[in-house]
Amino acid sequence: MKLLLHCCCAPCAVACINNLADNGITPSLFWYNPNIHPFTEYQSRRDALIAFAAAKELCLEMDDEYGLRSFLQCVHSKTETPERCGLCYRLRLEKTAVYAAEHGFDSFSTSLLISPYQQHEVIRRIGEELAAHYGVLFLYRDFRSLFREGQSQARALGLYMQKYCGCIFSEAEKREKKKEKRDIEHIVTRHINDKQRTLIPSSSFVIPHFFQRMALITGAGVLEKLQMTTVLVFGVGGVGSWCAEALVRSGVRRIGIVDFDTVCASNVNRQVQATSRTLGRVKVDALKERLLDINPNCEVTTWGTVFSRESAGEFGIGKADYVIDAIDSLAHKLDLIEIVHNTGTPLFSSMGMAQKMDPTLIKTAGIWETHGCPLARLVRHGLRKRGFNGSFAAVYSSERLQRHDECAGSDEASAESPVGKKAVNGSAVTVTATAGMILASLVLRDVMGSQ
């Protein structure tokens, strides 16, 4: 098959090209991306694709039209996201279809199909309409499960990584969202003065119907305090997602959730937001929707990004009441532990829950008292190397199981394990969810005990 692949950018194209090559297709690449704003952003994306194509010895065709003026004339009053995105898709796909038809290609496609942020059904509909009109096949492939892999490969290649969609409206919205995050103080501001914590309910506090059974255990004062408690959960996979749900179901009303990943098929067996309906969605977005279904009055702030030492300032860690660490990556886990410790915010951390089947063996201990858990051992070693002399509560299990590698699928075959090697670890919801529940209970019991 002679395929012309429209490339929105190099990072999105990498995994698409590799996947097509695995299926015996070597595409020719096509650059046409008008209305990227500002022009320096347009240049950076274009130049990155040129460099990538040259390095991989791929054929690259280019229509180097910047096109901002014509796009603004075209979009005119259609500034709502669905309409203007449809215009962007059509501009790119029609130019690709015309070029493919005129130059003897059998089919055309686009790297936009790897992004979980794009509207796949709209892209597919427009592509098929253009295919019928110009007499060249539109090849639809759902590449979204490769998004994480492609981003990692692009970083390894040193390609320019953009931070937003690219159109002028997207850039404006990006700036507005940053402003909103600064303005929403409820997720980054302590609502209780540490020196004046009280469990006496205010005269205006009315126990919500959702939490009357909880109040029978905690009392009205604790429940009111839970309503004002801010918790940040880093990592909303098999452990963190259940922790977040347990907190919201228990009366915590202010929660921040952080995770860069998207839902894939292999998440369904253990992550609360992962269902057949949420495949391809950003995890924190799918989880937020579920949490608001549980308590519409819950204040959920999401960060669909990777936590790192560089990004740590975005989350207001020092102004939260509690931080939950459910991160898999060892380096990022160590960074989070250090940063949280330096702020004085209480931290509860999950160790390794993969390759476990017996939830009754899960324990809680100070990090230096953990034993039998490979990830906990690596964390202790890493903290010693950094000169860390603090402590925090860790949830861990000393259970060990043999791997059954013959059962491993390809869905996450390139996922990075906590030890930095390429591996896929088996996980069971009975264990990961239990660990998440224990982490949530540590928050609840600490709130109850601070009287």
Structural domains of the chain, with CATH: 3-174 (3.40.50.620), 185-449 (3.40.50.720)
Predicted TM-score (pTM) of this structure = 0.56
**pLDDT at residue number 148:** 83
- Whether the pLDDT of residue 215 is over 50: the answer is yes
**pLDDT at residue number 412:** 41
109 to 9, 27, 63, 254: CA distances (angstroms): 14, 9, 16, 43
**pLDDT at residue number 409:** 53
Residues 6+ apart with CB under 8 A from 65: 32, 34
**Encoded tokens for 417:** 């394990």
- Of residues 107 and 408, more confidently modeled: 107
- Whether the pLDDT of residue 142 is over 70: the answer is yes
Whole-number Å distance between alpha carbons of 367 and 360: 19
For the chain, the 3-state helix, strand and coil shares in percent, each to the nearest 5, are: 50, 10, 40
Whole-number Å distance between alpha carbons of 9 and 87: 18
Whole-number Å distance between alpha carbons of 297 and 51: 49
Percentage of the residues of the chain whose pLDDT score is greater than 90: 60
- Of residues 233 and 175, more confidently modeled: 233
**pLDDT at residue number 170:** 61
**pLDDT tier at 367 (50, 70, 90 boundaries)?**
very high
- Whether the pLDDT of residue 191 is over 50: the answer is no
**pLDDT (tens digit, 9 = 90+) per residue, 100-121?**
999 999 999 999 999 887 889 9
**pLDDT at residue number 189:** 37
Mean pLDDT of the region 272-282: 93
**pLDDT tier at 80 (50, 70, 90 boundaries)?**
very low
Contacts 24+ apart (CB under 8 A), 365-372: 365/393, 365/394, 365/396, 366/391, 366/392, 366/393, 366/394, 367/391, 367/392, 367/393, 367/394, 370/394, 370/396, 371/398, 372/396, 372/397, 372/398, 372/399, 372/400
**pLDDT at residue number 116:** 83
Q: Which H or E run contains 437?
A: helix 429-449
Mean pLDDT of the region 43-61: 93
For the residues of 175-244, what is the DSSP string, one character each? HHHHHHHHH-GGGTS-SS-GGG---PPPTT----GGGHHHHHHH-HHHHHHHHT-EEEEE--STTHHHHH
**pLDDT tier at 69 (50, 70, 90 boundaries)?**
low
**pLDDT at residue number 298:** 93
- Of residues 259 and 450, more confidently modeled: 259
**pLDDT at residue number 413:** 36
Greatest pairwise CA separation for the chain in angstroms:
77
Mean pLDDT of the region 233-243: 97
**pLDDT at residue number 256:** 96
**pLDDT (tens digit, 9 = 90+) per residue, 2-43?**
999 999 999 999 999 999 999 999 999 999 998 787 888 889
**pLDDT tier at 199 (50, 70, 90 boundaries)?**
very low
**pLDDT (tens digit, 9 = 90+) per residue, 418-427?**
334 446 788 9
CB 62 within 8 A of CB 94: no
What rounded mean pLDDT belongs to the chain? 84
HEC per residue, 253-313: CEEEEECCCECCHHHCCCCCCCCCCCCCCEHHHHHHHHHHHHCCCCEEEEECCCCCCCCHH
Q: Lowest-confidence range among 115-119, 253-257, 353-357, 381-385?
A: 115-119
Whole-number Å distance between alpha carbons of 216 and 202: 17
- Whether the pLDDT of residue 411 is over 50: the answer is no
**pLDDT at residue number 71:** 59
Highest mean pLDDT among 7-11, 79-83, 402-406: 7-11
**pLDDT at residue number 87:** 84
- Whether the pLDDT of residue 361 is over 70: the answer is yes
Percentage of the residues of the chain whose pLDDT score is greater than 70: 82
Q: Lowest-confidence range among 76-85, 245-254, 358-367?
A: 76-85
Mean pLDDT of the region 90-94: 93
CB 290 within 8 A of CB 309: no
**pLDDT tier at 184 (50, 70, 90 boundaries)?**
very low
